[in-house]
Amino acid sequence: MNLGLLAPELSLAATAIVVILLDLVVSRKGWLAAVSIAGILVSGGFSLAMWGGSAQPIFNNMLAVDGFALFFKLLFLASAALVTLFSVDYVAKFARFQGEFYALILLSALGMMLMAATTELISIYVALELASISLYALVGFLKDSKSTEASLKYLLLGAVASAVLLFGMALVFGFTGRTQLGEIAQALQGMSLSPGLILGLVLLIAGFGFKIASVPFHMWVPDVYEGAPTPITAYLSVASKAAGFAIILRVFFTAFGLDWLSANWGIVFAALATISMTLGNITAIPQSNIKRLLGYSSIAQAGYLMVGLAAVGMSPVTDSVARGTILFFLASYTLTNLGAFAAIIAISNKLGSDLIEDYSGMIKRAPLLALGLSLCLISLIGMPPAAGFIAKFWLFKGAVENGLLWLVIIAVLNSVISAYYYLRVVKVMWLGEPASEEKVPSSGALRVALAISCLGVLLLGTIVPGLLTGQLADFAARLLTF
């Protein structure tokens, strides 16, 4: 066993320990964020060093080091780094627990990195719980009534979802006698679709559906997004969702990718996509709190991503384009949502409010923040020149090519609906009268994070979309089973 292949995870775990110990001896807590960023960069460096190498199984085929895992590792590390930058000012609200806050972000990222690399049911569950337990604690960090309620609700519903997922895994193991994903696929080759196996698949979809905030497993989203610290809301909306889709792709394509089976779960994801897009967008319209609005938006975005999952189910096993478009969508959505939350954090810190009406005239008080938030909201709609337009174009194109024109029509109609509530926020910021002429300050770290996110949104939407969809994401999407 070559522990060097686990260097990204080991270095991140070591950084989390260092941050906790450093918190005990330093008085200037800004060092904690700096050490966290440094550790993330080291882990990212190890991941980049492995890029382009041959896929390798480790720990008796429990984990894989391949292009797919490395793509998501870099995505999770980028999310953790940006969220850490967001938090430099925000952590003043819980000055006594800054070390634990940064360490939990690192540990949750570690769990997500392991989720993307797991190729065995037991290790999948352990990695998922490592990420989830860290997030349960982070949601309740403000320790006020809303934050505590959000954390408790997330914990209880998450525990139920984990139990459902574990029962589904038990059924799959019971019918196949295997826990390794590649071996499950081999065992299924000579089997027919039995009721017990169908139930196992349904329970797996339900358990993973909670992680990606898919209807009808979305009940936790609005309250948790509103009550959690805003940087953690941003983190949940992108990293946790990306981890869920990573493990869904790995499990369903590798273990259940047989033609006679994939078409069935493809239709299930198509139905869930329809419901999630529609319900998410319609319930977002009346929202007056911007965090709740983005919570329902997150449900709708999960629906768009499941259009890609449905296309993967309908596509031939040798076709990696459908999987590549999901990865591109996740990359663009990560940058877009993190950019939006960067602006929201700065504005909310000054206003002490998350109400959309309080954003009135923000273009006059904080022009760069308003401009960045507007760009990210336009990207969420799917309008050019932002990354969201290219992401949706490639995602919908792949679905049409795999016989899902009806689903794409529904998705396009939902995108039109979403324009109403996204542009309502833009209208308030640009055309509303400011309640005060006082400027809205923001820290250098937060401005850097916002600049990186917005620059990424523009680059992915204009200059390099062809590069990413044609080469990088396509390479990373080639799942390898052992």
Highest mean pLDDT, choosing among 215-229, 403-417, 468-482: 403-417
Whole-number Å distance between alpha carbons of 336 and 218: 21
0.75 exceeded by the pTM?
yes
Residue 308's identity, in one-letter code, is G
pLDDT at 479: 44
Whole-number Å distance between alpha carbons of 34 and 260: 51
pLDDT at 481: 40
Q: Which residues of 380-391 are buried (b: 16+ CB within 10 A; e: fewer)?
A: bbbbeebbbbbb
Which region among 155-159, 294-298, 317-321, 387-391 has the lowest average model confidence (pLDDT)? 317-321
**Half-sphere exposure (CA, 13 Å, Cβ side) for 199?**
11
Whole-number Å distance between alpha carbons of 258 and 303: 24
Whole-number Å distance between alpha carbons of 305 and 316: 19
Whole-number Å distance between alpha carbons of 56 and 481: 10
- In this structure, are residues 297 and 418 in contact, taking their beta carbons and an 8 Å threshold? yes
Whole-number Å distance between alpha carbons of 295 and 27: 36
Whole-number Å distance between alpha carbons of 54 and 74: 17
Spatial CA neighbour of 303 closest among 449, 415, 158: 415
The residues, ordered by sequence, that sit 6+ positions from 404 with a Cβ below 8 Å of its Cβ are 270, 307, 310, 311, 314
The residues, ordered by sequence, that sit 6+ positions from 161 with a Cβ below 8 Å of its Cβ are 206, 207, 210, 211, 217
- In this structure, are residues 84 and 36 in contact, taking their beta carbons and an 8 Å threshold? yes
171-205 tens-digit pLDDT? 999 888 888 888 888 888 877 777 888 898 899 99
pLDDT grade for 461, boundaries at 50, 70 and 90: confident
pLDDT grade for 276, boundaries at 50, 70 and 90: very high
pLDDT at 21: 92
Beta pairing partners, 65: 56
Mean pLDDT of the chain: 86
Average pLDDT over residues 340-355: 85
